[in-house]
Structure 1
Amino acid sequence: MLSKKLEKAFNEQINHEFASSYLYLSMAAYAESENLPGFASWLKLQTKEEMGHAMKLYKFVNERGGKVELMALEQPKNNFKSPAGLFEEVLGHERKITSLINKLYETALEEKDYAAQVMLHWFIEEQVEEEAAASEILETLKIAGEKGHALIMMDRQLARRGQG
């Protein structure tokens, strides 16, 4: 059984994960408007992944006898200065989510909820991967530049995410 404090913290994280999904969909729309279908494809897959994270938390709360309470989502940012600016936002957002997951884990420690701690280990490892992926794309954009052939090649490379 989840404590009320932990139930509230999980519900807040569920909201953050849904908001992340919504943000990445907004970023995908921006990329499509900039004629970068590969970037958009990568971001749409990220949208689905974040939705999956929310649902994993949703399921956990229900399995532990808690009650999921969905909250309102704010309108996500929808304008970005460039592809590199877009991925600066992605990396910054993933770092924010990492800090929120860490805070949730600290709450699980305080509440001595061992099942929550074990489940949150998956999220902690996932955030390492999320930050690394965003950082790699951002650094490649900085090296390659944001115009011409390098950007087109990178767009094609990002389009291959999820294709096997």
Structure 2
Amino acid sequence: MKDLARLRTSIKESVELALNQQIQMEMVSSSKYLAMAGWCDRNGLDHSAGFFYKQSEEERKHGMKIFHYLCDQGAMAFSPEVPAVGQEFDSLRAVFETALEQEIAVTDSINRIIGVCRRESDYATEELMKWYVREQMEEEYIARRCLDLFDQIPADQLYYLDKKVSSVTYEDNVFGE
């Protein structure tokens, strides 16, 4: 006799597992961004702190979007365990370098999930993940542009750099909406 819980969803176990791992990754990202925001706040970098508070909330929403998708499809969504994250950084540049590394890791994970969806012929989940592909293009673009500011603005003008961070948008990019 087939498992009745599996009859409630067309999502294969491998896709469900990958999506639950992505939920955890998004929530860990949210926690890391919150730590970055706190570091910026403690160091008087108000605009950068605001940028990272916003990023933290956005990552949480990304995780919740997948969580709700799994629930709506009759699959199991698990509340992820979020381990402790680092709270200290050597510099504002190090904070943004960490943010870019994190976004690249998320992009790699999204691409892996799409591969799983294709192997399992899960076109609905792949369609959902296309939204994340576009989102990651934006996230990486913004992180790279913020890092570019460090090369354009002298180190002794940290206040100006902090203020400039709040004006970086994806709309500057050819792929912007």
TM range (shorter): over 0.9
Structure 1 spans left out of the alignment, 5+ residues: none
Query: In 2, distance between residues paired with 1:124 and 1:146?
Result: 34
CA RMSD of aligned residues (A): 1.5
Within the candidate set 61, 84, 88, 2:70 is matched to 61
Within the candidate set 137, 150, 158, 1:141 is matched to 150
Give the deviation of 1:59 after TM superposition: 1.1
Is 1:153 the equivalent of 2:160? Answer: yes
Q: Deviations over 1:13-70 (max 9, x none)?
A: 0000000000000000000111101100000000011011001101111111101112
Map 1:9-20 to 2 at 5 A.
Answer: 9-20=18-29
Query: In 2, distance between residues paired with 1:145 and 1:2?
Result: 52
Which amino acid is 2:66 matched to?
Answer: L
- 2:117 matched to which residue of 1? 108
Q: What TM-score does the superposition give when structure 1 sets the normalisation length?
A: 0.92
Query: In 2, distance between residues paired with 1:161 and 1:135?
Result: 10
Give the deviation of 1:160 after TM superposition: 5.6
Which amino acid is 2:164 matched to?
Answer: Q
Is 1:49 the equivalent of 2:58? Answer: yes
Structure with bigger gyration radius? 2
- 2:32 matched to which residue of 1? 23
- 1:77 matched to which residue of 2? 86
Question: Aligned pair count?
Answer: 160
Which amino acid is 1:138 matched to?
Answer: L
Q: Which has the higher contact order (CA 8 A, sep 6+)?
A: 1
Q: Deviations over 1:51-105 (max 9, x none)?
A: 1100110111111110111231111111111111110101011000000010011
Q: Deviations over 1:134-153 (max 9, x none)?
A: 000011112213333xx212
**Could you tell me whether the CA contact under 8 Å between 1:21 and 1:51 is conserved in 2?**
yes
**Could you tell me whether the CA contact under 8 Å between 2:26 and 2:60 is conserved in 1?**
yes
- The farther-off stretch of 10-19 and 73-82 is 73-82
SS class of match (2:155): coil
**Could you tell me whether the CA contact under 8 Å between 2:33 and 2:53 is conserved in 1?**
yes
Query: In 2, distance between residues paired with 1:75 and 1:20?
Result: 11
Is 1:125 the equivalent of 2:134? Answer: yes
Which amino acid is 2:101 matched to?
Answer: G
Q: What TM-score does the superposition give when structure 2 sets the normalisation length?
A: 0.86
Counting aligned pairs with the same residue, the percent is 28
